[in-house]
Copies of this chain bind each other. A is one copy, B any other.
Amino acid sequence: MSRPKPLSGFPELTPEGRIVEQHVLDVLRDTFELHGFGSVETRAVEPLDTLAKQGEIDKEVYAVQRVAAEPGTPAELGLHFDLTVPFARYVLEHAHQLAFPFRRYQIQKVWRGERPQEGRYREFTQADIDIVDAGTLAAHHDVELPLVTLGALERLHVDLGLPPALMRVNNRRLSEGFYRGLDVPDPPAVLRQVDKIDKIGAERVTDLLVGDAGLSLAQARSVVELASISSADESFVEQVQRLGVRSDELDEGLELLADVVRTARQHVPGRLVADLKIARGLDYYTGTVYETELVGYESWGSISSGGRYDSLASDGRTTYPGVGLSLGVTRLLAPLLGRGLLVPTRAVPSAVLVSVQSEGTRDDAVAVAESLRARGIACEVAPRADRFGRQIRYADRRGIPFVWFPGAGEVKDIRTGEQLPADAGRWSPPADDLRPRVRPAGTGSAG
């Protein structure tokens, strides 16, 4: 076999990149669990007819079929393309085993047969949180969810130097209530045009609202004016009210969004704004909608999106409303790793290389290693009983900071050259050296 070529759209990380990814996934898991979300994993496949119901995406679905299937048999299964569709199915299937409101996080790969390009992958990892109730779901969960995701992104910002996040939030009841107050004929159609403002600009959208959606010029201008409102505090409410449109649904939407903004200002100040042009394309959203950018990297698009859906799942008798946020882990990490913006302090877990003086004394080295591991210190035993200089160079090449000499009972910090007597039952490396850490590139080296 000659050297295999990568498959376009299926990114694979080096061991260094994987250390960064693991760190990010650990922070997400820890944050989600601290907020009382439990983990769920669903199978990778769903019946194709379930997947195909999500109209806008069915062309990208990968079908799955046994190679040994009878030729001509139509495929029945497909790989999931997000974690929302499988989760909705999981809730229906396992409802009798779940306690509602059910809080779950789900970190898994998803697959889409897209044309590969930067920021678009055929296999990528998503991290979703959702709260789902049976019957009705209280509004305060819409306020709660951004705190969880922004809390996780803030930890990544502070610990890893990830760019800061900015979440933009709107509420469809606010927008659609405003449109109803304006007496426009088809509020959802208006929302679909508003969704294009970032791409084609406000003027072009005004034209489309008049030409395609049948609005008067005055109505279209009001719609675009509403979409131009954004604020980091509750002042957006007054700005909307100044437009002079009234409806009960609008008032409800304003109150719900004001709650989100007020609470976020208190707990994650500067990280969330009300932005009334946010629409989100997916039809199943019915209330709050979220999008999130990394500040300075807005061109990457939204790295975390979601919203409230009042009836994603229903078994005919019970409807399960929910609110969810999905974080694109690969979308977030691949460009940061590709540009070398995040690097681990070393490429291996080992803090210590236990040297071997001769093959006859390898057992002594293994005993030292076992003693270190019993106290949580990752280490490996030198693969060859080379000259010590070579064994030190071997550690250096891997970024392992310490070399242990079982014969002498000494340990050397190969970065400083300091070598001291040490007892394998008591010695510990400095806390910073215990496991590989992740840091922004160019902020000093530990290895």
Contact of B64 with A34 in the complex, beta carbons under 8 Å: no
Q: Which of A43, A58, A77, A267 counts the most chain B CB atoms within 10 A?
A: A43
Contact of A3 with B93 in the complex, beta carbons under 8 Å: yes
User: Contacting chain B: which of A160-168, A283-291, A347-355?
Assistant: A347-355
Contact of B43 with A12 in the complex, beta carbons under 8 Å: yes
How far is the CB of A141 from the nearest CB of chain B, in Å? 8
Contact of B41 with A348 in the complex, beta carbons under 8 Å: no
How far is the CB of A138 from the nearest CB of chain B, in Å? 6
Measured between beta carbons, the chain B residues less than 8 angstroms from A11 are: 43
Which residue of chain B lies nearest to A14 when distances are taken between CB atoms in the complex? B97
Measured between beta carbons, the chain B residues less than 8 angstroms from A78 are: 67
Contact of A38 with B62 in the complex, beta carbons under 8 Å: no
Complex alpha-carbon distance, A150 and B240, angstroms: 65
Complex alpha-carbon distance, A39 and B348, angstroms: 9
Contact of A113 with B66 in the complex, beta carbons under 8 Å: yes
CB-CB contacts below 8 Å: A88-102 with B? 89-90, 92-95, 97-99, 101
Query: In the complex where A15-B38, A93-B3 touch, is A45 in contact with B10 (Cβ < 8 A)?
Result: yes
Contact of B104 with A38 in the complex, beta carbons under 8 Å: no
Contact of B68 with A65 in the complex, beta carbons under 8 Å: no
Partner of A140, one of B52, B94, B140, B362: B362
Binary per-residue interface labels of chain A (243-256) against chain B in the complex, 1 for a CB within 8 Å, 0 otherwise: 00000000000000
Is the CB of A153 closer than 8 A to any CB of chain B? no
Contact of A43 with B103 in the complex, beta carbons under 8 Å: no
Partner of A2, one of B6, B19, B103, B316: B316
Measured between beta carbons, the chain B residues less than 8 angstroms from A147 are: 366
Contact of B65 with A62 in the complex, beta carbons under 8 Å: yes
Is the CB of A178 closer than 8 A to any CB of chain B? no
Contact of A12 with B42 in the complex, beta carbons under 8 Å: yes
Question: Given known contacts A13-B41, A36-B348, A68-B113, what 14 new A-B pairs fall within 8 Å (CB)?
Answer: A1-B315, A1-B316, A3-B93, A7-B77, A12-B43, A12-B94, A22-B39, A34-B349, A38-B349, A44-B111, A59-B68, A64-B79, A65-B65, A67-B78
A-to-B contact residues, CB < 8 Å? 1-7, 10-15, 18-19, 22, 33-45, 47-48, 50, 52, 58-68, 75, 77-79, 89-90, 92-95, 97-99, 101, 103-104, 109, 111, 113, 123, 133, 138, 140-141, 144, 147, 263, 266-267, 313-316, 347-350, 359, 362-363, 366, 370, 373, 376-381, 383-384, 397-398, 435
Query: Top 4 closest A-B pairs, CB basis?
Result: A36-B380, A66-B113, A33-B349, A36-B350
